[in-house]
């Protein structure tokens, strides 16, 4: 909404990876609208706090609903929205700090419930908005303002975590490949359960990894990112794990399980067998 | 000697039937037309452990569980040694003679509860033996008890009649034991059967029923004493199409899920106690800032920190009213009886919808487990409110007005960003000074629509007022009645609407020379708030984990008034 | 016309040298004997974005950043349109003529900062061009500036001399531009060089240095504006044997790690802002209950919720003093200047050790980024306290006394359980009424050892007092001085020790007819607390995200006094 | 300390699994004392909130120090204690609810740091102290007071989570095998890094799984628990993962990696290269 809004004064830095994610998300929402005819106002974007979360204010065109909450709590907020109204398409946008540091505790429970929302995680390996501290996905040894002598912890591997936690759709993507990212987001939104699209979205100001990810023939740098081969069976969790063991950043859909019921179906199953008494009846049971 | 009420304490080990006997007496009494109230304490271990429950029945509405015992029912010897000190001078002991023998005690009646029950062929009727004995002690007629038993056990099963018979038999066996000893503590005046329907329930159930009536259709919670029973009740009874209830993984997950649900159009509620409430701090600030309706029930227990999970206290007032950083002061409703628990829950949901923000329902351990009779609410007469929903087009400025404005619901028109950062009309983040000023005014204006709470007043012209809050209402009112009877000149003001306080009540309080606030905390939290509002308030505090006794209250009120009159009381 | 001070605002885009110029001027001024203060605001985007910094230099200690500008330095055109309204009547504009042209303005001096710097062979000397121009505008002598440049760039490197020369040249080029235009705004009085050493730093650095001096040897934190620079500074400077500093994964991890470290004998500290503070609620309750020394710095920003991360506010007072459920009221120290930031940090750590519990250091955005000169503290004269450590045998009852008692340290004698549930002498959980009463008294007694804070007083006999807190001290004192000059009869009372307040100060305040409390929040949080203590306090509030201007304050104080005298002011 | 303390009024229910864990822990602490001569007061027990956490008050004999904090925060509290004084032996005692539900977020960061503490998790698949609600390790479908129509989420698999999160020592044990549990705890305490001993400690009141775990020949119930074969290479994470894939509850040391530096070593490495200036020097750098 920001383009015509002089009051909104945040801007991504030139070259920031989040620009690409924005275009992909806009396009995914449009595609969904075009394919299903469902109004854009039926989408809810749940944003984390970070450069990445500011996405919710920067989407152009027809506006979805948005909720810009507190740091690290996108998933439970999204659960509230989705379980309030299962008709809504709920998309989380968050950074690696928001999602994997302060918000880490919320991934497991949603995976266990198979909450039908799609989380787009913008991983830049750094805290952008607070100006360059280390994040769970910063490389060990990385010098940042908060690790002047190098980061000492081991780096988190988000993709293998998602798999172990039981996330039922796990994709890995690059912010610069807008088209393919858009398609992945569409697929993830359609997935009947909890989906995470983990995007490499470099921070040009504090952790510019474009060259590392894409490689450089000139400088003799092998690209870190590599496409998942066509033949990969995304229903096979072992195959997915093995892809991860190869190192680097595999790009594509790692894992997809459509056999597990989503949260709403689980809730519906309870509703079916539960005693549904009216307040009046319940009250009457305390009559003397 | 004619008695207005009967105060009985049942004491023993967890699992010995302490609670069922106490609640049975309350049920029997209510059904026969008496008023009743129970007060329960809990052992800290899971199985067994010393515990007791007190039942008071009366021809008048019961305001407190009573200071001195007419009868102490001991299920074991430890109960005798722990509780006999609370017996009134004329008090009588009934004890389980299968457990121990009490010699050298004139007014002690040993009964083998279980053996007598067994002799009726119904081993589960031990509590009826006890109730029969108690009835005989106060010369309560058996026919009304027969009626109670018949009603209670007429459940449309083949063996109903048999069970009814054995229970009545058990009662009579209990009676006989007392008759044989020739002990009586006077005649309990016959009750006046009310001409309206009654219910008997505890405070947590009353909150659940109120919430359901008000339309709560989203509940997420995490277990914690003494709020767990609300989660458990909701899990059992709320599930239905378009209603959601779920045990989540923490209080942080609960409060933020509520924010999402309230945003998306639901009436969302959770219940917790102090430690869980403290974890909801950030989420509540978000709900206030982004203007999301939701209700948090805090059933207070002893604090701070993990504190005293099984004891009662009223020490969360300041932290629930001011739960988070920044300028924030949440609406707080603190019920003073089981009946008020029901209405407080309805109003809490209504308020949340009306002003579009978070509301605190501040209950307490002593209410949560207290069974109390009350007129059965006529649900058709308890109004339910729903938020104003935006019907405007997409250009709608959700936050622009200086007052409550229609709320867009996702899927409907008026898309905006519900934002916890300072924002403009459509919810985009902004740092402009004028906007922060405008939005601050908007947030504080909105609460004014809640200034319609009612309050109780008596002897309004007296310069000194007694102003309890929450569960302290009952014992304070009982003390007040006695003080007035003895000729004291004291005003009574009471409300369950602690924020915003009814403006007229503040006006009244400001005119008092002295306002005495009995409350169960150390700091005197409500009187601090009253003083900050310009009221000459001072607290009468207690922080033992137990409710006030009426006797103590009377003494301390008199003492405070005395020192005030002598100029010793410094506010 | 002789001037006491010079107020300059530097405005432009982030990255154009706004901050370095402003801080350069402050450094130069301090070194030449003036007093200096800067005030910075931040763009909300990471790179670029409109920003400004203001520097005020004076022959007297600088109390506020100043209301009206003597000079506005514009680095781009937008800066001109945004800020020219703040110029004093006689104010002058200096602007970057490489960026835009300002026509039709008599008192505007266009200079190509970068081109002139480049012509000296030192492209980084653009800020010296600006400082030179400013010096000329107030006829500041060049020799003292030469001295400043020489000292600043004498760093023992081979090219020192060259750099010194180019910088001095750049200054003179700036001077010449002003001379050529023949514009002056009067002569700035020559400074009195102090006979003591001085330092110039911002509030966050002062807190770090104070904490280090006090012996902080455990720091865990999570980034958040405007407290991040404390984490960054600690990460850089604290590491040493037996000292621990680490960025953790959330504020909950930070506060609970502090609890563990404080328990195990460390002086533990963290720094955060409102949203992080709200997450520390439960952990702070634990520290209070288990009696663990630790310090939490809250650098306030605009609230509630995510609020206004780059704006200043004083709205966390209530929530930091009463951060959690249960009876709890934490010690709070709120410094009013950079110098006080240093001493507040030392005292916060000392207090935590002394009473064995959590202490809040309440700073604010406006202090955190403000550079201010101060006498260099003589560390040998700033006392450092350490907790009393238990030397007793294993039978030691850690919690039994009604006062602060020696604390056992793991590994040493006196093993006990530090317990967040109510507990007995050795820290085992208990529910006994008498213990809860005893431990409550113990916890509240302990704070009394902190009642030694000092406070400032002026005109103590006046019935009306002006009582600011925190960063509002400076502008209020400036306003006060002017009010007194103009003959007003007002008392001044100030302390940075907000809880416990110095008892004598409360006494004094209780005797006032009217206490006016300027503060940057909506509710008037400090005056609420003062009223709860029996003081006739009322607030003068502002909630724009900006500090008070002196002019506004004078107006509002006069207005309040006027309406009070006319009987219109209701407290 | 409770035996002679009339003020302490909590007791475990008869048959509760936590009794066995207590005996094992007492014995492990004694063994360590006997082997090293280090005083018992050098041990710190960091307890969660739950029946399990009450352990800290129920240990008999020579008393270690204890800290009984708030629900779910044992690990960061333990980090504070250990990093304050690396000489201390720090043991966490917590329940499945405390450790894996509300406290879940704290496991990953400590694994990444390889914090040298030992966590003894008492898993009874239920919330005992609050009287029988479902926990992350309750079986799907289980009826509890908070899941009257059956638990709907998938069950958490703690052991595989620990492995993925990078915990450097992972053991699985039974509370009834006191001797072997004691030995495992000793080994875990000695492990130079983050160790978790995950104990099946049945709740006889709300979730009595003794028979399921041990099996019953009479009732034809196959035991769920089975010993890890002698030949298992605990240095091999793949082998550990494969053990888990076999189902049931493997008992023994699953995984042990002694190659990664512990947190203190990582901190020491920073200390070595950092500028260590005194406060006086730092202050002087702001002199004008
Ligand atoms: C409770 C809380 N703690 C800290 C912050 C400060 N904060 C804002 S954004 C952020 C981290 C941003 O990093 P990331 O999530 O990776 O997003 P990015 O900016 O890199 O896109 C932090 C720590 C906050 N807003 N709230
Ligand atoms: C913040 C907070 N939320 C909830 C509680 C209530 N509570 C106490 S123990 C417990 C769960 C206990 O389960 P578990 O950790 O599995 O331990 P167990 O009793 O089964 O050994 C809960 C929810 C609390 N004390 N604090
Ligand atoms: S700081 Fe990094 S993440 Fe943030 S906007 Fe700039 S480039 Fe993007
Ligand atoms: S409730 Fe369960 S876990 Fe708690 S003491 Fe009893 S048996 Fe043990
Ligand atoms: Mg990031
Ligand atoms: Mg458990």
With contact defined as beta carbons under 8 Å apart, do B80 and B74 qualify? yes
CA angle centred on C12, ends C10 and C18, rounded to 5°: 50
Q: Read off the pLDDT of residues B179-219 as tens digits, 9 standing for 90 and up.
A: 999 999 999 999 988 899 999 999 999 999 999 999 999 99
Q: Is A35 exposed, middle or buried (0-12, 13-18, 19+ CB in 10 A)?
A: exposed
Q: How confident is the model at residue B568 (pLDDT cuts 50, 70, 90)?
A: confident
- So what's the pLDDT on residue A21? 98
Q: Are the Cβ atoms of C49 and A149 closer than 8 angstroms? A: no
Asked if residue B394 has pLDDT above 80, the reply is no
Tell me, in angstroms, the distance from the centre of ligand 3 to residue A129's CA.
7
Q: Are the Cβ atoms of C250 and A101 closer than 8 angstroms? A: yes
Bridging pattern class, strands B87-96 and B108-111: parallel
Provide CATH 3.40.920.10 ranges for chain B: 5-181
Mean pLDDT of chain D: 96
- So what's the pLDDT on residue A9? 84
Query: Sheet harboring A169-174: ordered strands across?
Result: A225-227, A249-256, A169-174, A195-200, A118-123, A89-95, A43-47, A65-68, B417-419
Residue A91 at interface with chain B, using a CB cutoff of 8 Å: no
Provide the residue count of chain A.
288
DSSP for B502-538, please give it: PHHHHHHHHT-SEEEEEESSSS-HHHHHHHHTT--EE
D13 Cα nearest atom in ligand 4: 6
State how far Cα C488 lies from the chain centre: 29
Name the nearest CA neighbour of C289 among C405, C399, C170, C162: C399
Helices (H), B182-321: 203-214, 228-237, 251-263, 274-279, 281-290, 317-321
Asked if residue B571 has pLDDT above 80, the reply is no
Bridging pattern class, strands C187-188 and C491-494: unpaired
Provide CATH 3.40.50.920 ranges for chain C: 456-565
Q: Minimal Cα distance from D150: which residue of A?
A: A270
**CATH 3.30.70.20 corresponds to the domain C456-565:** no
Q: Among A160-169, B101-110, C268-277, D69-78, where is mean pLDDT lowest?
A: B101-110
- So what's the pLDDT on residue C135? 94
Mean pLDDT of chain B: 95
Terminal Cα-to-Cα distance of chain A (whole angstroms): 59
Residue in D10, D14, D146 nearest the CB of B247: D146
> What Å distances lie between residue A181 and A20, A37, A121, A258, B143, CA to CA?
9, 21, 12, 21, 80
CA distance C66 to C87: 11
Tokens of A168: 């039922």
C47 Cα nearest atom in ligand 3: 6
Q: Read off the pLDDT of residues C347-368 as tens digits, 9 standing for 90 and up.
A: 999 999 999 999 999 999 999 9
CB atoms within 10 A of CB D10: 20
Q: Read off the pLDDT of residues C299-308 as tens digits, 9 standing for 90 and up.
A: 999 999 999 9
Pocket of ligand 3 (CB under 6 A): A 12-13, 16, 18, 51, 124, 128, 203-206; C 46
Q: Read off the pLDDT of residues A226-258 as tens digits, 9 standing for 90 and up.
A: 999 999 999 999 999 999 999 999 999 999 999
Protein residue whose Cα sits closest to atom 8 of ligand 3: A16
Q: Read off the pLDDT of residues C44-68 as tens digits, 9 standing for 90 and up.
A: 889 988 999 999 999 999 999 999 9
D23 lines ligand 2 (CB under 6 A): no
Query: Sheet harboring D43-47: ordered strands across?
Result: C417-419, D65-68, D43-47, D89-95, D118-123, D195-200, D169-174, D249-256, D225-227
CA distance D202 to B447: 50
Q: Minimal Cα distance from C440: which residue of B?
A: B522
| Per-position b or e across A55-92, b if 16+ CB within 10 A of its CB | bbbbbeeebbbbbbbbbbbbbbbbbbbbbbbbebbbbb
Q: Is B90 exposed, middle or buried (0-12, 13-18, 19+ CB in 10 A)?
A: exposed
- So what's the pLDDT on residue A8? 92
Name the nearest CA neighbour of A95 among A55, A139, A152: A55
The arithmetic mean of pLDDT across residues C327-333, rounded, is 98
Tell me, in angstroms, the distance from the centre of ligand 2 to residue D133's CA.
10
Q: Are the Cβ atoms of B223 and D71 closer than 8 angstroms? A: no
Largest Cα separation within chain A, whole Å, is 87
- Give partners of D (≥3 CB pairs < 8 A): A, B, C
Residue in C298, C307, C328 nearest the CB of B422: C307
Q: How many helices (H) and strands (E) does chain D have?
A: 11, 8
Query: Sheet harboring C50-58: ordered strands across?
Result: C108-111, C87-96, C69-74, C5-13, C50-58, C35-40, C371-375, C198-202
- So what's the pLDDT on residue B42? 83
Q: Read off the pLDDT of residues B87-99 as tens digits, 9 standing for 90 and up.
A: 999 999 999 999 9
- So what's the pLDDT on residue D3? 60
Q: Is D219 exposed, middle or buried (0-12, 13-18, 19+ CB in 10 A)?
A: exposed
Tokens of A261: 């019921």
Per-domain residue ranges for chain D?
Answer: 18-259
- So what's the pLDDT on residue B559? 96
Q: Are the Cβ atoms of A112 and D266 closer than 8 angstroms? A: no
CA distance C552 to C535: 24
Q: How confident is the model at residue A288 (pLDDT cuts 50, 70, 90)?
A: confident
Q: How confident is the model at residue B545 (pLDDT cuts 50, 70, 90)?
A: very high
ipTM above 0.90, yes or no: yes
DSSP for B236-254, please give it: HH--BTTBEEEE-SSHHHH
CA distance A238 to A228: 14
Terminal Cα-to-Cα distance of chain B (whole angstroms): 45
- So what's the pLDDT on residue B164? 94
Q: How confident is the model at residue C535 (pLDDT cuts 50, 70, 90)?
A: very high
CA distance D201 to D185: 15
CA distance C245 to C234: 7
Protein residue whose Cα sits closest to atom 5 of ligand 4: D12
User: What percentage of chain D has pLDDT greater than the value 70?
Assistant: 99
Q: How confident is the model at residue D5 (pLDDT cuts 50, 70, 90)?
A: confident
The arithmetic mean of pLDDT across residues D198-220, rounded, is 96
Q: Read off the pLDDT of residues A96-131 as tens digits, 9 standing for 90 and up.
A: 999 999 999 999 999 999 999 999 999 999 999 999
Q: Are the Cβ atoms of B415 and A41 closer than 8 angstroms? A: yes
The 3-state DSSP class for residue C451 equals: coil
- So what's the pLDDT on residue C41? 85
Terminal Cα-to-Cα distance of chain C (whole angstroms): 45
**A191 secondary structure, DSSP code:** S
Asked if residue A1 has pLDDT above 60, the reply is no
Beta bridge partners of C310: none
Residues of C with CB under 8 A from a CB of A: 43-50, 222-225, 228, 231-232, 235-236, 239, 247, 249-251, 275, 305-306
With contact defined as beta carbons under 8 Å apart, do D135 and D212 qualify? no
Predicted TM-score of the model (pTM): 0.97
Q: How confident is the model at residue B106 (pLDDT cuts 50, 70, 90)?
A: confident
Protein residue whose Cα sits closest to atom 5 of ligand 3: A12
Tell me, in angstroms, the distance from the centre of ligand 2 to residue D22's CA.
19
Q: Are the Cβ atoms of C249 and A101 closer than 8 angstroms? A: yes
Q: How confident is the model at residue A63 (pLDDT cuts 50, 70, 90)?
A: very high
Q: Which residues surround ligand 6, an ion (CB under 5 A)?
A: D 95-97, 124
Q: Is A268 exposed, middle or buried (0-12, 13-18, 19+ CB in 10 A)?
A: middle
Asked if residue D216 has pLDDT above 70, the reply is yes
Asked if residue D63 has pLDDT above 90, the reply is yes
CA distance B224 to D70: 12
- So what's the pLDDT on residue C302? 97
Q: Read off the pLDDT of residues B398-443 as tens digits, 9 standing for 90 and up.
A: 999 999 999 999 999 999 999 999 999 999 999 999 999 999 999 9
D100 lines ligand 2 (CB under 6 A): no
Q: Among A225-229, B382-386, C103-107, D52-56, where is mean pLDDT lowest?
A: C103-107
Q: Read off the pLDDT of residues C424-451 as tens digits, 9 standing for 90 and up.
A: 999 999 999 999 999 999 999 999 999 9
Q: Minimal Cα distance from D160: which residue of A?
A: A164
Q: Read off the pLDDT of residues B287-338 as tens digits, 9 standing for 90 and up.
A: 999 999 999 999 999 999 999 999 999 999 999 999 999 999 999 999 999 9
Asked if residue A3 has pLDDT above 80, the reply is no
Q: Among C133-142, C205-214, C233-242, where is mean pLDDT lowest?
A: C133-142
| Per-position b or e across B107-119, b if 16+ CB within 10 A of its CB | ebbbbbbbebbeb
B 43-72 residues inside an 8 A Cβ radius of C: 44
Q: Is D63 exposed, middle or buried (0-12, 13-18, 19+ CB in 10 A)?
A: buried
CA distance C169 to B33: 101
Smallest CA–CA distance, residue D220 to chain A, in Å, is 31
Name the nearest CA neighbour of A49 among A103, A7, A106: A103
Tokens of B225: 């004493």
- So what's the pLDDT on residue A59? 96
For the domain B206-381, what is the CATH superfamily, name and number? Thiamin diphosphate (ThDP)-binding fold, Pyr/PP domains (3.40.50.970)
Asked if residue A2 has pLDDT above 60, the reply is no
Residue in B275, B308, B320 nearest the CB of C436: B308
Tokens of C106: 């008599």
Provide CATH 3.40.50.970 ranges for chain C: 206-381
Q: Is B158 exposed, middle or buried (0-12, 13-18, 19+ CB in 10 A)?
A: exposed
Q: Read off the pLDDT of residues C186-237 as tens digits, 9 standing for 90 and up.
A: 999 999 888 999 999 999 999 999 999 999 999 999 999 999 999 999 999 9
Q: Are the Cβ atoms of D153 and A266 closer than 8 angstroms? A: yes
Q: Minimal Cα distance from D277: which residue of C?
A: C237
- So what's the pLDDT on residue C19? 93
Residue D72 at interface with chain B, using a CB cutoff of 8 Å: yes
With contact defined as beta carbons under 8 Å apart, do C339 and C374 qualify? yes
The dotted CATH code for C5-181 is: 3.40.920.10
Q: Read off the pLDDT of residues D224-275 as tens digits, 9 standing for 90 and up.
A: 999 999 999 999 999 999 999 999 999 999 999 999 999 999 999 999 999 8
CA distance C155 to C168: 16
Sign of the alpha-carbon dihedral angle for C111, C115, C118, C124: positive
Name the nearest CA neighbour of C250 among A98, B439, A138, D226: A98
Tokens of C142: 């060049």
The 3-state DSSP class for residue C315 equals: coil
- So what's the pLDDT on residue B228? 98
Protein residue whose Cα sits closest to atom 5 of ligand 1: C224
Tokens of A252: 């594509």
Q: At what angle do helices C203-214 and C228-237 cross, to 10 degrees?
A: 40
Pocket perturbation via mutation, ligand 3, pick of A19, A51, A138, A210 by most ligand atoms within 8 A of CB: A51
- So what's the pLDDT on residue C436? 97
Asked if residue C239 has pLDDT above 70, the reply is yes
With contact defined as beta carbons under 8 Å apart, do C348 and C308 qualify? no
Q: Read off the pLDDT of residues B487-537 as tens digits, 9 standing for 90 and up.
A: 999 999 999 999 999 999 999 999 999 999 999 999 999 999 999 999 999
Q: How confident is the model at residue C42 (pLDDT cuts 50, 70, 90)?
A: confident
D18-259 topology per CATH = Rossmann fold (3.40.50)
- So what's the pLDDT on residue C550? 97
């Amino acid at each position: 909404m920001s383009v015509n809004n002089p009051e909104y004064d945040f801007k991504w830095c030139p070259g920031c990876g989040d620009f690409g994610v924005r275009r992909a998300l806009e396009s995914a929402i449009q595609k969904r609208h075009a394919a299903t005819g469902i109004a854009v106002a039926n989408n809810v974007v749940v944003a984390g706090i970070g450069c990445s979360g500011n996405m919710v204010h920067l989407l152009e065109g027809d506006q979805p609903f948005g909720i810009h909450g507190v740091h690290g709590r996108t998933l439970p907020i999204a659960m509230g929205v989705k379980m309030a109204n299962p008709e809504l398409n709920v998309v989380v946008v968050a950074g690696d700090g928001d999602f994997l540091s302060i918000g880490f505790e919320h991934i497991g429970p949603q995976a266990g419930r198979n909450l039908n929302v799609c989380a787009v995680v913008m991983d830049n390996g750094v805290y952008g908005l607070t100006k360059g501290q280390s994040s769970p996905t910063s490389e060990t040894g990385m010098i940042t303002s908060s690790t002047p002598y190098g980061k000492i912890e081991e780096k988190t591997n988000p993709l293998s975590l998602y798999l172990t936690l039981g996330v039922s759709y796990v994709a890995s993507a690059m912010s610069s490949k807008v088209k393919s990212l858009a398609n992945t987001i569409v697929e993830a939104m359609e997935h009947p359960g909890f989906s995470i699209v983990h995007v490499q979205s470099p921070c040009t100001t504090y952790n510019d990894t474009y060259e590392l990810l894409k490689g450089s023939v000139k400088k003799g740098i092998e690209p870190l990112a590599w496409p998942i081969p066509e033949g990969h069976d995304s229903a096979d969790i072992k195959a997915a794990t093995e892809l991860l063991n190869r190192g680097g950043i595999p790009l594509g859909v790692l894992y997809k399980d459509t056999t597990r019921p989503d949260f709403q179906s689980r809730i519906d199953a309870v509703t079916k067998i539960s005693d549904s008494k009216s307040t009046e009846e319940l009250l009457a049971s305390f009559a003397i | 000697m004619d008695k207005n009420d009967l105060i009985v304490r049942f004491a023993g080990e967890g699992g010995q039937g302490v609670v069922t006997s106490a609640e049975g007496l309350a049920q029997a009494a209510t059904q026969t037309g008496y008023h009743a109230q129970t007060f329960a304490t809990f052992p800290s271990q899971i199985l067994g452990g010393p515990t007791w429950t007190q039942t008071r029945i009366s021809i008048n509405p019961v305001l407190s569980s009573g200071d001195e015992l007419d009868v102490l029912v001991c299920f074991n010897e430890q109960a005798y040694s722990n509780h006999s000190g609370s017996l009134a001078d004329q008090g009588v002991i009934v004890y389980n003679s299968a457990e121990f023998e009490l010699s050298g005690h004139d007014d002690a009646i040993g009964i083998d509860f279980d053996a007598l029950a067994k002799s009726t062929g119904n081993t589960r009727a031990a509590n009826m033996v006890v109730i029969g004995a108690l009835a005989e002690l106060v010369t309560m007629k058996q026919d009304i008890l027969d009626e109670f038993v018949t009603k209670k056990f007429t459940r449309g099963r083949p063996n109903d009649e048999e069970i009814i018979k054995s229970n009545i038999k058990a009662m009579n066996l209990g009676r006989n034991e007392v008759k044989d000893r020739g002990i009586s503590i006077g005649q309990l005046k016959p009750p006046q059967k009310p001409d309206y329907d009654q219910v008997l329930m505890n405070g947590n159930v009353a909150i659940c029923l109120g919430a359901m009536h008000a339309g709560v259709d989203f509940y997420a919670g995490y277990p914690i004493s003494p709020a767990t029973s609300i989660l458990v009740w909701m899990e059992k009874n709320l599930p239905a199409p378009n209603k959601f209830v779920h045990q989540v993984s923490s209080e942080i997950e609960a409060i933020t899920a509520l924010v999402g649900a309230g945003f998306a159009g639901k009436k969302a509620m959770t219940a917790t106690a102090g430690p869980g409430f403290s974890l909801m701090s950030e989420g509540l600030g978000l709900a206030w800032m982004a203007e999301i309706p939701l209700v948090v029930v805090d059933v207070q227990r002893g604090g701070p920190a993990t504190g005293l999970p099984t004891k009662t206290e009223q020490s969360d007032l300041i932290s629930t009213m001011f739960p988070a950083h920044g300028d924030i002061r949440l609406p707080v409703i603190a019920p003073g009886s089981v009946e008020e628990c029901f209405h407080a829950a309805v109003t809490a949901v209504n308020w949340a919808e009306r002003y579009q923000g978070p509301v605190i329902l501040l209950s307490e351990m002593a209410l949560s487990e207290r069974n109390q009779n009350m007129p059965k609410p006529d649900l058709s007469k308890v109004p339910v409110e729903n938020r104003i929903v935006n019907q405007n087009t997409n250009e709608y400025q959700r936050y622009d007005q200086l007052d409550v404005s229609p709320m867009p619901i996702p899927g409907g028109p008026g898309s905006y960003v519900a934002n916890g950062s300072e924002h403009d009309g459509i919810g985009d983040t902004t740092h402009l000074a004028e906007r922060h000023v405008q939005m601050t005014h908007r947030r504080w204006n909105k609460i004014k629509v809640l200034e319609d709470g009612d309050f109780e007043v008596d002897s309004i012209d007296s310069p000194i007022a007694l102003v309890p809050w929450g569960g302290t209402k009952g014992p304070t009112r009982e003390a007040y009645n006695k003080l007035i009877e003895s000729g004291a000149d004291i005003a009574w003001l009471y409300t369950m609407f602690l924020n915003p306080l009814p403006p007229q009540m503040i006006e009244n309080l400001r005119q008092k020379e002295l306002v005495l606030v009995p409350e169960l905390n150390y700091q005197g939290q409500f009187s601090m708030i009253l003083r900050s509002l310009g009221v000459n308030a001072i607290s009468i505090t207690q922080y033992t984990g137990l409710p006030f006794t009426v006797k103590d209250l009377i003494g301390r009120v008199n003492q405070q008034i005395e020192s005030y009159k002598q100029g010793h009381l410094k506010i």
